[in-house]
Amino acid sequence: MALIGSVSTHRAIYLSLAAALFGLLALSVLWAHLSIRWMRLSRRSLARVGQVGQMLEEEFALTNSGILPKLWVEVQDESDLPNHYASRALSWLHGKNWRGWRVRTLCTARGRFRLGPVKLTSGDPLGVYQRTRTLPAFNNLLVYPATYDLPRFPLRSTFVPGGEAIRKRAQHTTTNAAGVRDYVNGDSLNRIHWPLSVRRNKLTVKEFELDPTSDYWIFLDMQRDVHAALNFSTESLDDNPSYMLPPSTEEYAVSLAASVARHFIREGRTVGFLAYAGQRQIVQPDRGERQQNKIFETLAVIKSGGDVPFDRVVRSEGTHLARGSTVVAISSSPAASWGAAVVQLNRNGSRVVAIVIDRATFGATGVSGRMDDVIAALVQGGVITRTVKFGDGFAEALS
């Protein structure tokens, strides 16, 4: 308007006003440009792996490497981790100075998440012009499912039968010593038989055989049609040490599988995992913390997208199990056919525990939500059976 007035009337006041406004605009653009320059943001996660129910801590540091102070800077974080509020608005950041903050977030969902990117926005004091700069660098975070202690799990190690001894040398230490041999380069020092080495005047190491066949398998039902869930939101969750699982049979099943795997691995057992979730997901039996991480990584991202009924999974995969293996079958399917398949697996020489998730307590209605026939088939077939309902503690439900 000032420009139009100066052209049409040729009055000096309009010309001065137009020049002032153009000068203000140019100054605002220059100010915003300089405000976003020489800015560096670093972020550091105190852990690359999280777990549902635990806190994730992340540290941020915004550095002004220029000599001019920054009047205000808005840091907008675009991470997809639920409830991760890392954005900040900072004021008056001196030149050659930095400002830091720490964010603590309760992990409420398992999966693989992106931390970043980050947008930096700044402008002139009057807010006439703003400029945004995107920092594309980001980290990835893998969140494991929640796990719970199972001190009274029905399969105690002292009662679990093993198979015939395998006359095969083991690469790791087992409870079955097979003999001794001369030391060679690369042998672990903890396998040296020191008393015998002293008597023979040369280093001698112990050899071990594999344990009797007693692999532990976790069969998880990930057929999409068998799972149910109640409405639930994690928006109101904060630092909550008594975090509860969402009311979803899928989340309960995954957490149960993770808890059982951790329980047996802590007992030194060889544990494997199997599920049909769109495609066949299998982790071959092994032991140790590395095996636990493999199973947890699989469970962190697995989704109920399978089309194969659980009874077919049990029947087809059960034929490949060695006699004496132990199977923990976890399902919320109301079809009695999977109960019959588990009973047959039990009669074929495997030790089986069936964990039935009562889908009716998760909102499933009608005949399709009833689990009575499944439980009856399992109990009549002599299978150790435990039922888990929404809100149950795993330690009590599986004791």
User: What are the residue ranges spanned by the domains of the chain?
Assistant: 37-144, 176-209, 216-397
Residue-level pLDDT at 23: 72
By the 10 Å C-beta count (0-12 exposed, 13-18 middle, 19+ buried), 370 is classed as: middle
Rounded Cα gap, residues 359 and 246, in angstroms = 13
Peptide bond into 117 cis (omega under 30): yes
- Which CATH superfamily groups domain 216-397? von Willebrand factor, type A domain (3.40.50.410)
User: What six digits make up the tokens of 1?
Assistant: 């308007």
**Domain at 37-144: CATH architecture:** Sandwich (2.60)
Give residues with Cβ within 8 angstroms of 348, minimum separation 6.
318, 323
pLDDT tens by residue, 154-189: 875 434 444 444 444 445 555 555 678 888 887 778
Residue-level pLDDT at 165: 44
Residue-level pLDDT at 235: 58
CB 232 within 8 A of CB 246: yes
Residues of the chain falling short of pLDDT 70: 1-19, 21-22, 24, 137, 156-178, 208-213, 234-242, 367-369
Sign of the CA dihedral with 34 first, then 74, 86, and 136 last: negative
